Structure formats: structure tokens, C-alpha cells
């Protein structure tokens, strides 16, 4: 599927989180739809707050991506991303990312990165459900 889709390997989002969280999510996106090329994964392991900010900045510059996905609202990746968003109009941060969020984002290629990020966040929120025996 991915081979036939235009722009599949142009990253639009950067996923960053603790441990192997980001790589795992991107790997899951790839397994489901083969569109891991739309995303870049980063880990904060062993990095200072300044290093995290620099790593994100470098990937933004290298890829042209305009959306950052982080795992935990209280995490240092989120704090670093918020510093970047503060100084860069049009850069978006989605915190609390999950697989449903990323799948919506990578398929939403017609929308602007900003609209795609908003839509993806809504999809991610809606994917959290509790099921119990009634």
C-alpha cells in the first residue's frame, strides 16, 4: 500500500517520548499501513532538556515537519516541545499521542499539518474507551 502512495516517505510529524515508545508507535503504524515514512521517532533517553529541544529542532529542520507528538503531558519532551511552539508560529504539539492519533494523522494527507493534527488529536481521544461486562 505505501509504495503506491505519493509522499509516503515525506515526514510530516515527529514522535518523541520515553524509552522506545516513539519507535514502537511508528513501528506499529508501519505494520498497519506501511506509512512510517510520514513520521520520525525520537527517544529522550539520556538527554538533558536542552538536548531534547535541540534534537527536535534538528529533526524539524531536516524534515520540514510541523507537528510534534509527545507521550506524556508532564514529560520533558512535552516541555521541550512547548518551548519550541512558543517561538514558532504554525508549529503544533499534540501531547498524549496514541496509535489511533498517528494513524489518523498519516492518512490525512490532504489537510494542512495543523488541521491534520487537530483531527488526529480528536481521533486519539475518541479511541480511549472502557469496556466492561454489563
Which residues make up the interface to other proteins (CB under 8 A)? Answer: 18, 46-49, 51, 71-76, 78-79, 82-83, 86
Q: Which of 59, 102, 56, 113 is nearest to 79 (CA)?
A: 56
Query: Cβ closer to other proteins: 20 or 115?
Result: 20
**Cell (9 digits) for 90:** 504554525
Query: Cβ closer to other proteins: 80 or 106?
Result: 80
Shortest CB 52 distance to other proteins, Å: 9
Shortest CB 64 distance to other proteins, Å: 26
Query: Cβ closer to other proteins: 7 or 49?
Result: 49
- Euclidean distance between CA atoms 132 and 36, whole angstroms: 33
Shortest CB 95 distance to other proteins, Å: 10
- What are the backbone angles phi and psi of residue 86, rounded to the nearest 5°? -55, -35
> CB-side exposure of 103: number of CA atoms within 13 Å?
14
Amino acid at each position: 500500500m505505501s509504495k503506491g502512495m505519493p509522499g509516503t516517505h515525506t515526514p510530516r510529524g515527529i514522535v518523541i517520548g520515553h524509552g522506545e515508545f516513539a519507535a514502537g508507535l511508528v513501528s506499529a503504524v508501519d505494520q498497519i499501513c506501511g506509512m512510517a515514512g510520514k513520521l520520525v521517532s525520537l527517544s529522550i533517553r539520556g538527554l538533558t532538556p536542552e538536548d531534547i529541544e535541540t534534537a527536535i529542532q534538528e529533526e524539524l529542520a531536516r524534515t520540514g515537519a510541523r507537528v510534534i507528538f509527545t507521550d506524556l503531558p508532564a514529560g520533558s519532551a512535552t516541555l521541550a516541545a512547548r518551548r519550541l511552539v512558543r517561538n514558532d508560529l504554525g508549529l503544533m504539539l499534540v501531547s498524549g499521542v496514541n496509535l489511533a492519533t498517528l494513524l489518523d494523522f498519516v492518512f490525512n494527507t490532504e489537510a494542512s499539518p495543523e488541521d491534520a493534527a487537530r483531527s488526529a488529536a480528536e481521533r486519539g481521544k475518541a479511541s480511549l474507551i472502557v469496556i466492561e461486562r454489563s
